[in-house]
Amino acid sequence: MGTATRSPLDEEDLLIEILLRLPPLPSSLPRASLVCKLWRRIISDRSFLRRFRDHNHRRPPLLGLFFHRRKGVRFVPTLEPPDRIPATRFCLPHTHEDGWFFCGCHRGLALLYSILHRQAVVWEPLTGNQRSVAFPPGFNNIEDAAVLCSSPEGDCKSASFIIVLVRSTTTHAVASVYDSESNAWGDTISTPVSATGGICCMKPSTLAGNGLYWLLVGGNILEFDLQKLSLAEIEKPAALKWYDYSNIQVVRTEDGSLGLATLSGFSMLLWEMKADSDGFLGWVLQKTIQLDKVLSLEGTDEDCIVIWGYTEDSNMIFVSAEPDIFMIQLDTVQFKSLSRSFYITRYYPYSSFFPTDISL
């Protein structure tokens, strides 16, 4: 009698390695867990889930967009079924109360703040968990803020977080950092800035390398170094002759460093901050994307092209060309058109791993 052939999927160690390489989409692990009892046992194991996050921590899926409307904040999913997360999944804290502002998402967390109440709220949209943090002394007013996981893997389901508040005077930019582990604010940090108009509130912060970056009115960039806990001003490229918040966006380059996307007519120019042979940092043009060759822009005036937002997790930029909105992946220049039947003032892309214990 012949011996039965053993499938590679019968080898549990090999099976685990295969399952770890499933795409990090909301439906991947729940659907795989339905195959058989063995698969379900592996996928339900905490050590496997931790390894799955570690394997994919640099590429959490873009679940959708939060954006401001005249009557509050709304969520629009960007994935197709069966991965599509319905907008009804999220119930924003304080969304219908006056004086509360939604100011961005990083690594699965979102942040709201109220100048009136002198308080920030860290919110985890997928679980509904939230935590309130009072502003530090001296911060009666802020211009923007950001929340980040303390864990480099960005596993905010189990890690602590930090909040960075920023504001400006006529001569200086000022920041303060809250650490959830110590439940305390650090010392006030400041640096001189040339832009007296402050931080551009239309563009949320971008995370690149060890820095958080905000666009300043005038086109320069405010850098907050997360390791040194310091602020610095970075000049925009000299070739950028004119400035409007709609034609410039701080981005992250392919190697994770600071980059910039600028618009000139139908051309999108991608810049990278690099050191020359003498060690001096400067802007280097890396790539030009002809939007009219990539997108369906027939009949569109080049003055109507606007950059609305960006997500560093998938290196995706959001461009409107009336009446359309496009998501453009900067590495591959692949794009997707989004429906637009509403007025939008700010985009907040939301990327996160969907918990396997929550059903779709």
One-character DSSP codes across 242-286? S--GGGEEEEE-TTSSEEEEEEETTEEEEEEEEE-TTS-EEEEEE
Q: What percent of the chain has pLDDT over 90?
A: 34
> Is the separation of the CB atoms in 74 and 87 below 8 Å?
yes
Per the CB < 8 A criterion, the answer to whether 85 and 25 are in contact is no
Domain boundaries, the chain: 10-52, 91-235, 240-340
pLDDT at residue 255 greater than cutoff 90: no
Distance CA 311, CA 106 (A): 9
- pLDDT tens, 304-328? 888 988 999 889 999 888 777 888 9
Verdict on whether the full-model pTM lies above 0.95: no
Indicate the residue type of 160.
Answer: S
Distance between CA atoms of residues 51 and 40, nearest Å: 16
Query: Which string of DSSP letters, residue by residue, matches 141-181?
Result: --SEEEEEESSTT--TTTS-EEEEEEEE-SSEEEEEEEETT
Give 173-200 pLDDT, tens digit per residue: 999 999 999 999 999 999 998 866 788 8
The third-level CATH classification (topology) of the domain covering 91-235 is Methylamine Dehydrogenase; Chain H (2.130.10)
- Please answer whether residues 94 and 100 qualify as being in contact, where contact means their C-beta atoms are separated by less than 8 angstroms: yes
CA distances from 216 to 204, 209, 220, 228, 266 (A): 11, 19, 5, 21, 24
pLDDT at 183: 93
Contacts of 44 (CB under 8 A, 6+ apart): 33, 356
